[in-house]
Amino acid sequence: MEQVREKAYAKVNLGLDVTGRREDGYHLVSMVMQTIGIHDDIVVYKTKDPNISLDIDYGGVHLATPLSAGDDNLCARAARVINERLGIGHGYFIHLTKSIPVAAGMAGGSSDAAAVLRAINRLEDAGLTTEELQELAVKIGADVPYCVVGGTMQAEGIGEKLSPLKSFADVPLLVAKPPEGVSTAEVYHALDEQETICHPDMKAICEAVSNGDVDGLAKHMGNVLMDVTLPKYPVVGKIRDLMLENGALGAMMTGSGPTVFGIYRTAQECQKAAEVVRAGGLCETVMATKTIADITK
């Protein structure tokens, strides 16, 4: 086998709370992570050259600044990490086709890195277990261990402590990203400066998800980072309100933004809302999709 293809799926946060901060500056979080149907495509080729090279096809993804295709790219970092673990002398050529919006709070880079780990594990017939891949993933980024398996999970610590929840698959979901770029560091700094913080009820969110209760999730879903993002990026609130006015049971920002998603009762309602949001002119990317199950099954 000389090449392997993998899909790298995006995620949204059905709930996100910040519970503290470590001495090293990392924030402690409690999140419910959910894989959705939007994905990048990755092909990994063996090469005789010992180096790792990367080519990126942006497709229809809008970018203010192109992604780095150098050694600091998460895909290249993932290839190096697993290469060192397996003790392999040859290199790889990675072709990445982007569909997940960039810098959107949807773990696009982390998911790409996880897909590279899975691809090389298959390409080399290495037989590393999911747990072993996740141990490697921790070295790359906090979201990468989750992205190795995807599905529906509660994440704690800095995002690396994962607890599976009952699958919340096949829920229609609308994703909309405005052109504005949001700095994750600035969002967390603003949260640190906030005197009063409204924390989401993560227990209620987990219970709703575990019970497959879409209405319960819509009632309790929340993102602690949204309150500090809205004053600087009011477009986030405008998109959320537009979704709620057009059939969304609930809508909020995912991650540190600026992407907003809404959950819907039917795919037809979701598609209809997508047309309205697209026509509103606030977003560079609008996609109707759905939640999906564990990507390894």
Catalytically active residues are 11, 143
**Do the beta carbons of residue 83 and residue 139 sit within 8 Å?**
no
Please state, in angstroms and as integers, the Cα–Cα distance from residue 81 to each residue in 124, 138, 187, following that order. Answer: 14, 10, 30
Question: How far apart, in whole angstroms, are the C-alpha atoms of residue 262 and residue 160?
Answer: 26
Question: Of 121, 154, 151, nearest to 137 (Cα)?
Answer: 121
How far apart are alpha carbons 70 and 249 in whole angstroms?
Answer: 42
| Continuous H helices in the chain | 74-86, 108-123, 130-138, 144-149, 184-193, 202-210, 214-220, 226-229, 234-244, 267-279
Phi, psi for residue 258 in degrees, rounded to 5: -90, 5
Rounded to 10 degrees, the C-alpha dihedral 103/39/238/170 comes to -140
The amino acid at 115: A
Q: Which amino acid type is present at position 209?
A: V
d(CA 226, CA 219): 16
Handedness of CA 27, 30, 36, 42 (dihedral sign): positive
Question: Using CA atoms, how far apart are residues 209 and 205, in angstroms rounded to an integer?
Answer: 6
Q: What is the dihedral of CA 129, 132, 136, 141, to 10 degrees?
A: 80
